[in-house]
Amino acid sequence: MTTETVAELEVVLCVGDTTYLDYYGNIVAKREGYGPIGNGGNGLILHNAIAVDPQLGQPLGLLWQKLWNRDPKQKPPKDETPTKKKRRLAVARKVARKRPFEQKESYRWVEALTTVDHKVSQSTRVIHTFDNKQL
């Protein structure tokens, strides 16, 4: 188990990244129920946090993982003008900014950080590195 391997080290790197599993053009049967990703994609989002030995640069295993999907976006009105679209998107951004932090996508990294710190031995110092510009 990764946590047992990590417990033997004084310091471990916890490297997090996101993978987008895009099924838009490939697996039509799996498209329904998934959510939007990227520019027009349809699929799942996978967050990973991997333990790395800082002395050897070797991966030690997976410390945390979360698979989830975004809610599908509502289709815009058929008669929407560019001005109305701009206004609708501006309102949506304001609403998104006011959501509690726990409901934002970047909170997934806080989940990773707290879960990993809880799982890893207190004698091991964990240095977290996540690829997220919004934290």
Q: How many C-beta atoms lie closer than 10 Å to residue 14's C-beta?
A: 21
Q: Could you read off the pLDDT of 59-105 as tens digits, one per residue?
A: 999 999 999 888 877 788 889 999 999 999 999 899 989 999 998 88
* Mean per-residue pLDDT over the chain, rounded: 86
Q: How many C-beta atoms lie closer than 10 Å to residue 41's C-beta?
A: 15
pLDDT confidence tier of residue 32, bands split at 50, 70 and 90: low
Q: What is the pTM of this model?
A: 0.76
Q: Backbone dihedral region of 57: left (phi > 0), alpha (psi from -120 to 50 degrees) or beta?
A: left
Please give the torsion angle defined by the CA atoms of residues 75, 79, 80 and 82, in that order, rounded to the nearest 10 degrees.
130
**Structure-token pair, residue 83:** 């001005």
What is each CA distance from 80 to 73, 86, 96, in whole angstroms?
A: 16, 10, 21
Q: Which pLDDT belongs to residue 34?
A: 77
Q: Which pLDDT belongs to residue 33?
A: 65
pLDDT confidence tier of residue 58, bands split at 50, 70 and 90: very high
Q: Which pLDDT belongs to residue 55?
A: 93
